[in-house]
Amino acid sequence: MAKRSALITVMARAADKAARRLRRDFGEVENLQVSKKGPADFVSTADLRAEKILREELSRARPDYGFLMEESGATAASDGCERRWIVDPLDGTSNFLHGLPHFCISIGLEDKGELVAGVIYDPLRDETFAAEKGIGAYLNDRRIRVSSRGRLNEALIGTGTPFKGHGDAATFLAEANAIMGATAGIRRWGAAALDLAYVAAGRLDGYWERDLSPWDTAAGIVIVREAGGFVTQIDGRQIRGHSPDILAANGALHEDLVRLLRNTKGP
């Protein structure tokens, strides 16, 4: 933002401090302790350290706010406060643990159940995607907008794929087959928050994924909307609160993608 609001400054500073630790851990990834949350679902000491830093920094700046965090769960706000942070300290943990340089920190803010602000920070590229309701979306200090492409056959679409123990592979394959047949290609980067940030910045023209958690999408939803994009459930219904299924795109392509995916049936 040309001049960041006090709120975005708080979020960006917290992300920057946590990122310093993540960068060090990424350089020594083979030494990290790793445990499993479920089949092919990992949590590392890097996730836990980053989450601790984010909680401390955000609590110091806004002590009344509650939290919903990927690793430590929910913490209620103080009486009379209806705001809470929704935080993923390391989106793209599998990438991180394999030495793939594509991961981020995601911080969303919810007020009375409505998402009102978001920051997504890529520590290795030093890219801060930020937005606040009614103010617009920014990449570092530059205003960003969704792409202007209006034809599916020119569009590049992001997604996330099911993996061991997670998701409906048959449905995904049917949807992916439909998307591949209609577009210029699909990209699977492995970090949902960055996929949404890339839609906001026009790097991707659209993105869909199922079986997501609130911390995967909270910040990205605000950023895409403030960049002029549309974010709904995959079938086109509005998102109220949280939806595990999400479709984000520019205004020219969104309805085409809704129709394409709505008419797709798995075996």
Domains identified in the chain and CATH numbers: 6-143 (3.30.540.10), 152-262 (3.40.190.80)
For the entire predicted model, the pTM comes to 0.93
**What integer pLDDT is reported at residue 264 of this predicted model?**
82
Those residues whose C-beta lies under 8 Å from the C-beta of residue 93, and which sit 6 or more positions away, are 42, 43, 44, 46, 47, 103
**What integer pLDDT is reported at residue 29 of this predicted model?**
74
**What integer pLDDT is reported at residue 28 of this predicted model?**
80
Those residues whose C-beta lies under 8 Å from the C-beta of residue 267, and which sit 6 or more positions away, are 170, 174
pLDDT in tens, 134-177: 999 999 989 999 999 999 999 999 999 887 667 688 999 999 99
User: Which range, of 23-27, 124-128, 172-176, averages the lowest pLDDT?
Assistant: 23-27
Q: Where are the beta strands (DSSP E) in 95-188?
A: 104-111, 114-122, 127-132, 136-139, 142-143, 156-159, 185-187
Q: Which residues pair with 121 in a beta bridge?
A: 105, 128
pLDDT in tens, 187-230: 999 999 999 999 999 999 999 999 999 999 999 999 999 999 99
Is the pLDDT at 38 greater than 50, yes or no?
no
Query: 49 to each of 22, 52, 58, 76, 169, how far by Cα in Å?
Result: 8, 5, 14, 21, 33
